[in-house]
Amino acid sequence: DGGITQSPKYLFRKEGQNVTLSCEQNLNHDAMYWYRQDPGQGLRLIYYSQIVNDFQKGDIAEGYSVSREKKESFPLTVTSAQKNPTAFYLCASSLLARGNSPLHFGNGTRLTVT
């Protein structure tokens, strides 16, 4: 079955360490996205990518980095510069980077930094 796989489901890190969240899709979608979800905040866009080897900052990109070397993969690195990294992270993809293409989401990664 086609879908989006995020791993791991839960991730624990010490403050000051970088950590990379994995996101893989086999839907052959062009566009991919990373969102952060905090209680009472809805979903906020971190980074997005319309095509391979191209990505753009979203609303809250500070302290995060991404790469898009393959169409299927869009890993997110949470760096030590991110002041409040503990959150639920959702990866998504859409067939097209516009219009009525809905976003398909992975199951998310819960990151806890202590």
Partner 1 sequence: AQTVTQSQPEMSVQEAETVTLSCTYDTSESDYYLFWYKQPPSRQMILVIRQEAYKQQNATENRFSVNFQKAAKSFSLKISDSQLGDAAMYFCAYRSQGYSGGGADGLTFGKGTHLIIQP
Which x/- pattern, by CB under 8 A, does the window 44-63 give for partner 1?
xx--x-x-----x-x-----
Of 85, 76, 81, the residue nearest 8 (C-alpha): 76
Residue 78 β-bridge partners: 19, 64
Number of Cα atoms under 13 Å in the Cβ half of residue 41: 13
Nearer to partner 1, 73 or 80 (CB): 73
* Gap between the Cα atoms of 88 and 102, Å rounded: 21
| By CB under 8 A, residue 88 contacts partner 1 | yes
DSSP H helices, the chain, are: none
SS3 91: strand
- The footprint of partner 1 on this chain (CB under 8 A) covers a number of residues equal to 28
Is there binding between residue 95 and partner 1 (CB under 8 A)? no
Pairing of strands 42-49, 56-57: antiparallel
- Based on the shown chain and the rule CB under 8 A, indicate whether residue 6 belongs to the binding site for partner 1: no
CB of 108 to partner 1, least distance (A): 5
Residues that bind partner 1 in the complex, under the rule CB under 8 A: 31, 33, 35, 40-45, 48, 50, 56, 58, 88, 90, 92, 94, 96-100, 102-105, 107-108
